[in-house]
Amino acid sequence: MVNNVVSVLVLNGPNLNLLGERDPGHYGTAKLEDINRDLEKLASRIGVEVICRQSNHEGVLIDLIHEHRKTCGGIIINPGALTHYSYALHDAIEAVKLPVVEVHLSDIHSREEWRRKSVITPVAWKVISGKGPAGYLEALEQLALYLEESG
Ligand code: DQA
């Protein structure tokens, strides 16, 4: 929190830097910059700050969670394929005890068998899957409301 403005860390994992060109049938045509820009616009409208980061590396995502654990009020994360096997990311989220919204552009429950299991969900406050870029905006609205109410 800086000057009483709540910060929300928005993390995107492996391959999400390629949004727009990567498998548009599943992930749509919006680029990550478009999603982040819309999040920034919504954030300024509702009076919160978003810090948007993407990495293709599990350890970098974990370092970012650690680094921001005392200064942000909550986290929105699309862990990409790490969703399905990263116990290290699960443990990092569990350790920092922040409300975390897990977001997926596609509906992971209606895709290949291996995508249907998320090891992140047990430590997520909420999961939003299959709503495309709108899922990130919904996550921010819900998190901001929760943070305001829990003040
Ligand atoms: C994803 C779904 C994952 O299975 C996949 O590996 C991704 C993106 C989604 O946003 O739908 O990279 O998290």
Q: What is the pLDDT of residues 34-78, one digit of tens each?
A: 999 999 999 999 999 999 999 999 999 999 999 999 999 999 999
* pLDDT score for 151: 78
Q: Does residue 63 lie in a domain region?
A: no
Quote the pTM value: 0.97
- Residue 109: which pLDDT band, with cuts at 50, 70 and 90? very high
**Cα-to-centroid distance, 101 and ligand 1 (Å):** 14
Q: Is residue 132 part of a domain?
A: no
The CATH number for 14's domain is: 3.40.50.9100
Q: Is 80 in the pocket of ligand 1 (CB under 6 A)?
A: yes
- 15 — alpha (psi -120 to 50), left (phi > 0) or beta? left
Nearest residue CA, atom 13 of ligand 1?
80
What pLDDT does 1 receive? 60
Q: Please tell me the total count of domains within the chain.
A: 1
In the annotation, is 136 catalytic? no
Closest CA to 42 of 149, 130, 133, 127: 133
Task: Assess whether 104 carries a catalytic annotation.
Answer: yes
Please give the full DSSP string across 7-54, using - where no structure is assigned: EEEEEE-TTGGGTTTS-HHHH-S--HHHHHHHHHHHHHHHT-EEEEEE
pLDDT 10s digits, 113-125: 999 999 999 999 9
Examine residue 71 and state whether it is found in any structural domain, yes or no.
no
Q: Does 35 sit in the ligand 1 pocket, CB within 6 Å?
A: no
Indicate the pLDDT class of residue 3, thresholds 50, 70 and 90.
Answer: low
Share of the chain above pLDDT 70, in %: 98
CB 31 within 8 A of CB 60: no
CA of 43 to the centre of ligand 1 (A): 24
The pLDDT-based confidence of 4 (bands split at 50, 70, 90) is confident
Helix (H, G, I), strand (E, B) or coil at 86: coil
Q: Which domain holds residue 44?
A: 6-55+76-127+137-150
| 98 in any annotated domain | yes
The whole-number pLDDT of residue 66 equals: 98
